[in-house]
Homo-oligomer: A and B are copies of this chain.
Amino acid sequence: MKIKDLAYFAALIKVKNFTTVAEQFKVSQPTISYAVKRLEAEFGTKLIYRDQSHQSLVITQSGEQLYQHATQILAEIELTRADMLNLNATDLRFGLPPIIGTYYFSKLAQKLASNGTIQHFKTVNGGSKELLASLEAGELDVALLGSATPLQTDTVTAKIIERHHFKIVVAPENPLAQKTAVAFHDLAKAKFIMLAEGFVHPVVFKNLSDINQIKPEIIYRTNDVSVLKSMVHENVGIGFLTETSITLADDLVVLDLLDEPQPIFYISLAYRRTHLFSQAQQILLENLEQAAHDYRLEHKK
């Protein structure tokens, strides 16, 4: 069986017209007829027939089923070609969600700049879901993703490179600023400024709320960490952020969470299970991991 026959067939199911498909593939019309015949012989069933009045094509159950699988196979072939080309790549197509980019990768980038590898990281920004889809489609080589639990899907796997704690941030004049740590259940009456849906933060926040059987009020949601911080700074409410997204310059008071087990913000390096990296890319990845390692050491102090 030839891949090409599956491609002809899939196109035929889509456009339901032999002549058009033949033109698309720049072959003659009988080529398509014969391709269908071959597939029908191969699987021992009719795949399509023309209805009595000759007006349109009818796809049999078997035809539908073959179409499903043909689509999968053709996608895999495309992935193969993309991956094979990529094995000579000197750049790494690198997915990065905004917060991780701003508050974590930027720090590694300094180290990567010093050894001149940074220009080979071709960064693509996007939300986690979007980046996961790009990984699966072979449009990205790796992505740094944030999650509340370790990431695993059928096709994508991930290596955890950072575990960050969540913190409560408050304005210096907020009464809580006197403390250095709080238990989440003591925040039942607090008013929160929260990151928007799509971030891991509201998911973890919801989880903490459920476990503690409280429902703290969320008075505002934003997509932008700096908006959140400035609102917290104005003491409009208090914030729930990961340690790395807070810097000294923010002039905010940071409180630890006393809850055990502490919720963890995992930063993972995600990639497609079947994807291999070129030599150059492997070196880039080692550099990245080394930078992450150095960063971790510096922050242990």
Contact = CB atoms under 8 A, between A and B. Distances in A.
Interface of A: 1-4, 43-45, 61-62, 64-66, 68-70, 72-73, 76-77, 79-81, 83-84, 87, 153-155, 210-211, 213, 274-276, 278-279
A196 to B, nearest CB: 24
A278 B68 CA distance: 15
Nearest to A212: B213
Count chain B CB atoms within 10 A of each CB in A70, A81, A84, A210 and give the residue with the most: A84
A45 B87 CA distance: 10
A79 B87 contact: no
A68 B276 CA distance: 9
Nearest to A84: B43
A70 B87 CA distance: 16
A154 B278 CA distance: 27
A87 B61 contact: yes
Contact of A87 (B65, B69, B73, B213): B65
Nearest to A259: B213
Contacts of A1: 2-4, 77
B76 A69 contact: yes
A-B pairs, top 3 by smallest CB distance, nearest first, are A154-B154, A69-B80, A68-B274
8 contacts: A1-B2, A1-B3, A43-B81, A66-B80, A69-B79, A73-B80, A153-B154, A211-B213
Count chain B CB atoms within 10 A of each CB in A2, A64, A80 and give the residue with the most: A80
A136 B274 CA distance: 18
A39 to B, nearest CB: 10
B153 A45 contact: no
Nearest to A69: B80
Contacts of A62: 84, 87
A276 B64 contact: yes
A65 B279 CA distance: 13
B72 A76 contact: yes
A4 B276 CA distance: 23
A264 to B, nearest CB: 15
Contacts of A87: 45, 61-62, 65
Contacts of A84: 43-45, 62, 65-66
Contacts of A274: 65, 68-69, 72
A213 B69 CA distance: 48
Contacts of A45: 84, 87
A2 B5 CA distance: 10
A120 B126 CA distance: 49
B68 A77 contact: no
A275 B66 CA distance: 10
Contacts of A73: 73, 76-77, 80
A172 to B, nearest CB: 32
A4 B83 CA distance: 21
Given A79-B69, A84-B43, A211-B211, A276 B154 contact: no
